[in-house]
Amino acid sequence: MPKSTPGVTRTTLDREPPGEAAAKLSPELFDERGRTVPWMAKTVRRLYDAQGQKILDRENLAIAYWYYLRVLAERGELNQLELSKRVGIASTTAVPALDNLEKRGLVQRIRDPKDRRKYYVSLKEEGRRLVDEMLPQLVDMFSASLDGISPRDMQVFWKVAHQIEKNLIQMSKDDATLD
C-alpha cells in the first residue's frame, strides 16, 4: 500500500483538466496551478537569472560566473572548495569557471603553501570593479521585481523562507554550506 502524505489529496492529474486537479491539492503544498514551493522557487530563480543575464551581458559575463564574484566580494579570499560550496556548484564544475575568471583577470588563485592540492581564490582589482559596477544595477532589478509587495508581506516572506531553509538544513544533517 503506498504511503500517503497527510493533508494531500491524491488526484490523477492526467485525467482532469489542470485547474480542477490543482484545486483538489492541498493549498498548503500546492498553488492554484499545482506548483510546489520548489517548483516556484526554481521558476523565480530562472526568471531572476534571465533578467540578471541581460545586465551582465554588458560586461560579457555569464550569470554562473557572477555568483563566484559575488561570494568573493562578500566573503573575501576563500579556498576553492569552500567557494564552490558557497556558490552551490560541484568543485569539479568550479575549475573551468575559475579558469575563465582568472583568464579575464577577475580573480586570482594562489596555492596553499601548506597543502599544494588546495588553492585560495580572491578577487583582483578588475573583479572588484566589476562587482561594484554591476551590483547596483542588479539590486535595482531585484527592487523592481518587488513592486506591489508591502513591507509587511516581505517580512512574512523572509520569515517563511528562513524557516524553510532551516528545516531543509536540519533534514540534510547540516551538511549543506549556504551563503
Q: What is the pLDDT of residues 96-118, one digit of tens each?
A: 999 999 999 999 999 888 887 88
User: What is the per-residue pLDDT for 28?
Assistant: 81
For residues 162 and 56, give the distance between their C-alpha atoms in angstroms, rounded to a whole number.
Answer: 28
For residues 71 and 161, give the distance between their C-alpha atoms in angstroms, rounded to a whole number.
Answer: 20
Res 7 pLDDT > 70: no
User: What is the per-residue pLDDT for 34?
Assistant: 86
Whether residue 95 contacts residue 104, with contact meaning beta carbons closer than 8 Å, is answered with no
C-alpha distances (whole Å) from 104 to each of 78, 97, 131 are 19, 11, 14
DSSP reduced 3-state for 84: helix
CB contact set of 122 (below 8 Å; sequence gap of 6+): 72, 76, 77, 78, 107, 108, 110
Whether residue 85 contacts residue 92, with contact meaning beta carbons closer than 8 Å, is answered with no
C-alpha distances (whole Å) from 107 to each of 66, 80, 86, 95 are 12, 12, 16, 12
Res 86 pLDDT > 70: yes
Question: Is CATH 3.40.50.300 correct for 61-147?
Answer: no
Residues 23-37: pLDDT tens digits? 566 878 888 888 899
User: What is the per-residue pLDDT for 20?
Assistant: 61
pTM for this structure? 0.75
Res 162 pLDDT > 80: yes
